[in-house]
Amino acid sequence: MAWDQGLRRIILEVDSVDAVRSIKNLDRRSLCHSLVACAVELLGRNWKVRICYVSWCVNSVAGGLAKLAEPVSVEVVVYADPPWSISHALQQDALSCRLNAS
């Protein structure tokens, strides 16, 4: 989706240290082989991608969005505006980012 929007500088935040390690090392023996294979294909494109670990406890927006997802759905949902149900989490994450930047 970011590629299709013309974005060429991406920060990929992942809440799994093992996933970050597997993607960065292109570990094809990973338990998430298909995920790593997709990541390798995407990383091969002409763009800059920084991959980093972010603890779930400081990324409550991602957790809130995950809770909105259907358990078996693989459909991509794009929001023009943040869902009301994550507005508090969005404020908390923004505050956390500002505090960490100071």
Q: What pLDDT does residue 100 have?
A: 60
Percent of residues, the chain, with pLDDT higher than 70: 83
Q: What is the pLDDT of residues 26-41, one digit of tens each?
A: 766 655 677 777 887 8
Distances (CA, A) of 60 to 38, 48, 84: 25, 25, 14
pTM: 0.63
Check whether 89 has a pLDDT greater than 70: yes
Share of the chain above pLDDT 90, in %: 8
Mean pLDDT of 62-71: 80
Domain ranges (residues) in the chain: 9-53, 56-101
- Which is it for the CA torsion 66, 74, 48, 32, positive or negative? positive
Q: DSSP character for 78?
A: -
Q: Count the Cβ atoms, other than its own, within 10 Å of residue 52.
A: 10
